[in-house]
């Protein structure tokens, strides 16, 4: 079977697709890390609010309230910053996903062309085999006729 004319391009597309898959996986990992960090800060803020409610019931000093307020403010700032990072990361992940989709589509086009070229080659081989079989059958028939004519008395 002859080599596919665009085999090199197909291999390049396959390698590119794998690279895009790897890049997407790395970006998804970063997204997960940002989500985990955000969840951790939300949990810390929730724990702080619960502790503040308990402290209010037991009695709390002004210094404790001021320190707690500063803590809450810092956590909320970090939470906001982490949300911004997460939003940026989501955009990067979407971009990587789009790149992967494009690479997969381009590779698929070459695979389809390869399949069509293989089918065309097989059809041509079958046509040539049929021609050869027809020629053999005609030669056999001619041989039978010649042998039959020789066998007839004159």
- Record the tokens describing residue 46, joined without a space: 């929730």
Number of compact structural domains in the chain:
1
What pTM, to 2 d.p., does this model score? 0.70
- Indicate whether 89 belongs to any domain: yes
**Distant-in-sequence, close-in-space partners of 85: CB < 8 Å, separation ≥ 6:** 34
- Indicate whether 133 belongs to any domain: no
- Indicate whether 154 belongs to any domain: no
pLDDT band at 126 (very low <50, low <70, confident <90, very high): very high
- Indicate whether 139 belongs to any domain: no
- Indicate whether 79 belongs to any domain: yes
Cβ atoms of residues 84 and 11 within 8 Å: no
- Indicate whether 32 belongs to any domain: yes
Condensed to tens digits (0 to 9), the pLDDT of residues 128-150 reads 999 999 999 999 998 888 887 78
Q: CA separation (Å) from 64 to 46, 69, 89, 91, 105?
A: 17, 8, 37, 40, 60
The domain that contains 17 carries what CATH number? 1.10.287
- Indicate whether 49 belongs to any domain: yes
Condensed to tens digits (0 to 9), the pLDDT of residues 13-60 reads 999 999 999 999 999 999 999 999 999 999 988 998 888 888 878 887
CA distance linking residue 42 with residue 98, whole number of Å: 31
Condensed to tens digits (0 to 9), the pLDDT of residues 63-72 reads 777 888 888 8
- Indicate whether 127 belongs to any domain: no
Range of the domain at 29: 7-118
């Amino acid at each position: 079977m002859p080599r596919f004319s665009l085999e090199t391009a197909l291999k390049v597309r396959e390698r590119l697709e794998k690279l895009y898959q790897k890049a997407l996986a790395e970006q998804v990992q970063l997204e997960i890390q940002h989500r985990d960090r955000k969840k951790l800060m939300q949990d810390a803020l929730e724990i702080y609010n619960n502790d503040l409610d308990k402290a209010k019931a037991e009695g709390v000093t002004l210094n404790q309230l001021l320190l707690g307020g500063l803590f809450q403010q810092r956590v909320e700032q970090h939470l906001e910053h982490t949300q911004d990072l997460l939003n940026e990361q989501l955009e990067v992940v979407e971009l990587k996903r789009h790149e992967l989709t494009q690479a997969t589509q381009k590779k698929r086009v070459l695979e389809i062309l390869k399949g069509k070229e293989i089918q065309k080659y097989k059809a041509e081989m079958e046509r040539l085999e049929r021609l050869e079989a027809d020629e053999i059958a005609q030669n056999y028939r001619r041989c039978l006729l010649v042998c039959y004519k020789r066998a007839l008395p004159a």
